[in-house]
Chains A and B, each alone.
Chain A
Amino acid sequence: MHRFKNTLLSTVIALSVAAAPSAFAHAHPTTMAPAPDSTGPAPSKISITFSEAVEPKFSSIKLTNMEGKSADPQSSAAVPGDPKTISLPVPTLPAGTYIVHWVNVSVDGHRLQGSYKFTVR
């Protein structure tokens, strides 16, 4: 009886793990330069690396100031040879706080977006 219970419990645990689809499957940012909430010199580019490969046509970075006005007229692009990273070249930024808005679509078609702040001294 004890053995049966153990077998049943093992089966239920195995099935509950096997039954969970990968619903958490999104490309989350793993490395951001400049880092969120950081203060430092003006960066020459903004670069974000995600946890998995992203679709370049549907993934982008935009930079705005605190008033929501665009601080960079250029477009972001995928980094050649690195399908997980997109970057945005930026002009010399005056001192102030900026917001990085990012959107990505992972290769399985899932979309994720977010934003973070950094400050230029």
Chain B
Amino acid sequence: MPTLFPVMRICAAAFTDVAYVSAAGALLNRLWIGRLSTGDKKLRACLRTASVALLLLLPVQFFLLSASMVGDTSWTDAWQAMPDVASTHSGRALLISWCLLPCLLLLSFLFSSLSRIKGTMLGIGLVVCFLAFRSFNGHAASDGDFTLREAMQFLHLCSIATWSGGVIIAGLITAPCLASANHFDDLALFGRRLSQTITVALAIVIATGIYNSWEGQGGSLVPLPHTPWGRMLLLKLSFVLLALGHGARVRFLLKAPLPWTDRQATIMRRWLRTEAMLMIAVIVCSAWLANLPPGEM
């Protein structure tokens, strides 16, 4: 059974990553929609689902962290080591980030009673705090807390959440809602806000990603095109490039002047949905790559 641990670790990481980027995406999409209330209910439900998923997944990740620390020997060993794991740097960061989640869940219920901007900004603040503790939980923490590496990792996580979360929720929730409600011009305006924010986020993803990879590999980039790990990296890169290609097409479409037709809105909705699927694939590949060192594949 302990051989299941690596698979469980990849699955838990992938689901957790999809959940937190979805929470960030739901809040950002709500901000980009503007004054319209179209899709409000679905975005709130998405935030609620993501919060519940994270509340359940983080304890699983904690258990799997414990299993990893004792060498993936047995379920009992992992269970017994959990109190000790709580005193480690990663364990503490995971527990603190978990404590923020009930607040996010509560906010998803109170959203309708809070004013749009206040509620959304409060939610974004909570997600940012959650990501800050997540950046304390990784390799970036090896030089200690509040270092440049942790700051870069924090920026990286925030920009990834903005890019992938924004696109996933736009493609799967917001764009279909706006298109089906015949708010074609609002879809165009929403798309422009999304595109502007994502351009900035993407620049930060690339800059911080290069820094993280350089630091993480001790200042030398080992070419791995002939290993399974390297091939998975190439697969992820292919998804990233396809998503970028789709993003460029969407950006080109957004240049079309208003008013928009049904056809333009339909194309936009379809392209955003495809981009959303590609972003989910990128997240799954990332979880796979981050949880298995090259030698273990």
Interface residues of A (CB under 8 A from B): 11-12, 14-27, 51-53, 55, 57-58, 103, 105-111, 113
Binds A, one of B83-91, B107-115, B255-263: B83-91
A21 and B213 contact, Cβ closer than 8 Å, known pairs A55-B89, A58-B70:
yes
Contact call A109/B65, Cβ cutoff below 8 A: yes
Q: Mark B200-226, 1 if CB is under 8 A from A, else 0.
A: 000001101110111111100110000
A11, A22, A113 pick with most chain B CB within 10 angstroms: A22
Contact call B206/A22, Cβ cutoff below 8 A: no
In-complex Cβ contact of B241 among A12, A51, A53, A103 (8 A)? A12
Complex CA–CA separation, A51 to B219 (angstroms): 13
Interface size class of B (residues with CB under 8 A): 35 or more
Complex CA–CA separation, A108 to B81 (angstroms): 16
Chain B 250-297 residues near chain A, CB threshold 8 A: 286, 289-290, 292-294
In-complex Cβ contact of B233 among A20, A55, A110, A113 (8 A)? A20
Contact call A23/B69, Cβ cutoff below 8 A: no
Contact call B69/A109, Cβ cutoff below 8 A: yes
CB distance from A84 to the nearest CB of B (A): 9
Interface residues of B (CB under 8 A from A): 65, 68-71, 81, 84, 87-90, 137-144, 205-206, 208-210, 212-218, 221-222, 229, 233, 236-237, 240-241, 244, 286, 289-290, 292-294
Complex CA–CA separation, A27 to B89 (angstroms): 15
A12, A14, A105, A108 pick with most chain B CB within 10 angstroms: A108
Complex CA–CA separation, A113 to B229 (angstroms): 21
Complex CA–CA separation, A83 to B237 (angstroms): 36
Q: Which of chain A's residues have a CB closer than 8 A to the CB of B212? A: 18, 21-22
Q: Which of chain A's residues have a CB closer than 8 A to the CB of B209? A: 17-19
Q: Is the interface of B mostly helix, strand, loop or mixed?
A: helix
CB distance from A63 to the nearest CB of B (A): 19
Contact call B71/A111, Cβ cutoff below 8 A: yes
In-complex Cβ contact of B142 among A16, A19, A108 (8 A)? A108
Q: Which of chain B's residues have a CB closer than 8 A to the CB of A27? A: 142
A109 and B90 contact, Cβ closer than 8 Å, known pairs A17-B213, A18-B213, A58-B70:
yes
Q: Which of chain A's residues have a CB closer than 8 A to the CB of B71? A: 103, 111, 113
Given A23-B229, A52-B142, 20 other A-B contacts at CB below 8 A? A16-B233, A18-B209, A19-B237, A20-B216, A20-B221, A21-B212, A21-B290, A22-B213, A22-B216, A23-B216, A23-B290, A25-B138, A25-B216, A52-B143, A53-B142, A53-B144, A58-B70, A108-B141, A109-B69, A109-B137
